[in-house]
């Protein structure tokens, strides 16, 4: 059960945070920056995104509980959000849930510091990743060390994200567009399956449908 929670958390966080896509976009936003400056931005962005996601993962469920939101409602809503992101990933839709809108992209090009916007948020700590953290923590709440496993999985994904950001320029040259899109689609399919399961669990736990 602990291994299942860890694998589910790693897959979901990797798909919603999108380290590969973030690294590619980071490379396009910082093509002429010195390597030291790119590294500083990558480290700062990863730390900020990690803090945001850890906050929502650890405290998201208690806050929603105080607002009267049930776990079933959270599972259903989270499943819908993650499914929308998965569909965008699978079909590589431009302007999808984990991409920048044209106005955001234009603003990012003119900002001196891209660590906070758009890198930390919304690229890394976007609505999908925040929802995923809350949903995973809620699902693991009844399991011993469940929350710790989810947080540890988040930490692992963020470490991998930092590594990819530090190697963004090299990754962009080596992988190529085709390999990047294949990888994103594969994780999109996995995320879609997890999202549908969360949706089924939410509807079942709500009591609207017996069995």
Arithmetic mean of pLDDT, 118-128: 90
What is the rounded CA–CA span in Å between residue 132 and residue 81?
9
CB atoms within 10 A of CB 71: 19
pLDDT reported for residue 97: 45
What is the rounded CA–CA span in Å between residue 118 and residue 22?
10
pLDDT exceeds 60 at position 59: yes
Arithmetic mean of pLDDT, 66-88: 88
Q: Say if residues 127 and 121 touch (Cβ distance below 8 Å).
A: no
For residue 28, what pLDDT band results from cuts at 50, 70 and 90?
A: confident
């Amino acid at each position: 059960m602990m291994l299942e929670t860890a694998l589910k958390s790693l897959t979901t966080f990797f798909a919603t945070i999108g380290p590969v896509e973030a690294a590619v976009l980071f490379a396009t936003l910082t093509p002429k920056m010195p390597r030291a400056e790119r590294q500083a931005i990558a480290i700062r962005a990863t730390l900020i995104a990690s803090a945001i996601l850890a906050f929502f993962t650890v405290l998201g469920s208690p806050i929603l509980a105080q607002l009267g939101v049930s776990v079933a409602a959270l599972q259903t809503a989270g499943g819908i959000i993650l499914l929308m992101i998965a569909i965008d990933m699978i079909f590589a839709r431009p302007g999808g849930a984990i991409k920048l809108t044209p106005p955001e992209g234009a603003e990012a090009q003119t900002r001196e510091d891209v660590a906070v916007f758009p890198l930390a948020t919304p690229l890394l700590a976007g609505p999908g990743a925040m929802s995923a953290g809350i949903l995973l923590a809620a699902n693991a709440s009844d399991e011993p060390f469940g929350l710790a496993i989810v947080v540890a999985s988040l930490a692992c994904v963020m470490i991998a994200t930092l590594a990819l950001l530090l190697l963004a320029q090299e990754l962009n040259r080596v992988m190529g567009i085709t390999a990047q899109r294949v990888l994103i689609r594969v994780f999109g399919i996995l995320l879609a399956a997890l999202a549908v399961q969360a949706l089924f669990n939410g509807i079942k736990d709500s009591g609207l449908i017996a069995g």
